[in-house]
Amino acid sequence: MSILINQNITKSKLQNMSTESYKFILKISLFAILIFIIAKAIYSTALFLVHFDAFTYQLVVVTFVTAIGHLLIIKSTEKSDKNFTNGFIGSITLKLLTYMFFMFLYLWFDNSQAAAFLINFMILYVIFTIFEITVILRFVKKIS
């Protein structure tokens, strides 16, 4: 009897995890579109003299890596809620290494706008980190 109850709890938890994954993908996609629209508006008005080509690449990379990192956190909590910390630390490590690799590669091939590239990247990193932390805090409240 207890095995059957545990299987039902596990199935329910897995369904909630996939729902959480889908919701996060939708949220981060809409968030990225909103950031893109705001940035294009800023670049076409206040910073119209600045032509910065790498913003779209940065936005795609940060969005994709943040989504993968968040999905790793959700995946790590599927078996046990105690795995959250390991998933979170692993996610942060993966993201930072990926970001470092991306910045190194981009600046290796085109360092003509290095300052603008780094400033934009840091702004995107902070914005997406705040977004992800708010979503993670809501997720932690649900699972605890």
Q: Are 99 and 60 in contact (CB under 8 A)?
A: no
CB 58 within 8 A of CB 120: yes
Mean pLDDT of the chain: 83
pTM assigned to the model = 0.80
pLDDT of 14 above 60 = no
| HEC string for 41-69 | HHHHCCCCCCCCCCHHHHHHHHHHHHHHH
At residue 79, the pLDDT reads 75
pLDDT band at 113 (very low <50, low <70, confident <90, very high): confident
Burial class of residue 30 in the structure, from the number of CB atoms within 10 Å of its CB (0-12 exposed, 13-18 middle, 19+ buried) = exposed
The more confidently predicted of residues 15 and 119 is 119
pLDDT in tens, 36-92: 999 888 878 876 656 667 888 899 999 999 999 999 888 888 777 778 888 889 999
